[in-house]
Amino acid sequence: MKKIVLITGTTSGIGRACAEKFGEKGYRLIVNGRNPEKLDSLTEELRNKGFEVLPLLFNVCDRDATTAAVNSIPAEWAEIDVLVNNAGLALGLEPEYEGDYQDWDTMIDTNIKGLLTMTRLVVPGMVTRDKGMVINIGSVAGDAAYAGGNVYCATKAAVKTITDGLRIDLAPTRVRVTNIKPGLVETNFSNVRFHGDNERADNVYKGIKPLTGADIADVAVFAAEAPEHVQIAEVLVLATHQGSGSVVVRK
């Protein structure tokens, strides 16, 4: 029987790449997005590749909508083998004392509370079946703060702690937990952070060959496909000329 993976934030970047990579491995795909047009387009594209796809339209920030969507999953799709908590974002790069309240709320509601909601809804089934895997997409930003990163870095530090706590809680079971911490990945991440300022976003990646969404998806699939007795707890993935969240050598 084919395994089932549920991926949040699937309409772009790392989430989209995860859908493609897991689909190529023969997984049935439950894909999530909050934009109906983008989710429809992705679903059609994946189905045209021969993948089995179930789209779920909801915003992880909305706990009621998230709960209703997950509870609506048909019985033949309900036994989720892998949960990829990918939905997340950064907004703004201002000093903390000049930060935007709404940006803070959105990052906290998405990166922390949305991840927690999905975990609470999906993991109990894994525990009952005594099998499964949770892959959380963290960040190098969770290891140490950088200038202007303040709240975003705090949310990704929370992802690390929440992931570690879940792994401890699940140690009596066969459910595995992985935290993948990417460095510079060229997606729409910076465009979102800078509220659509394309020039500012492009400058983030100038002078360095950044990672791609597919690079991170490869790591996610590798962790999921490891033997059942192997739990890849945490993976830090950086571009070659990136030393940390704040050290990037541009050439």
- Dmax over CA atoms of the chain, in Å, equals 53
Strand partners, 28: 4
Q: Is 152 a catalytic residue?
A: yes
Torsion sign across C-alpha atoms 23, 83, 2, 29: negative
8, 15 contact by CB (below 8 A): yes
List the catalytic residue out of 97, 101, 146, 152. 152
Q: What is residue 176's three-state secondary structure?
A: strand
Closest CA to 176 of 220, 209, 206: 220
- Distance between CA 33 and CA 129 in Å, rounded? 27
Torsion sign across C-alpha atoms 11, 131, 235, 24: negative
In the sheet that holds 4-7, the strands lie side by side as 53-57, 28-33, 4-7, 82-85, 132-137, 175-182, 234-237
- Distance between CA 80 and CA 71 in Å, rounded? 12
Q: Which two tokens stand for residue 45?
A: 């594209």
Q: Give the start-end residues of each E strand in the chain.
A: 4-7, 28-33, 53-57, 82-85, 132-137, 175-182, 234-237
Task: Give the count of alpha carbons within 13 A of 57, CB side only.
Answer: 9
Q: Mind telling me the catalytic residues?
A: 152
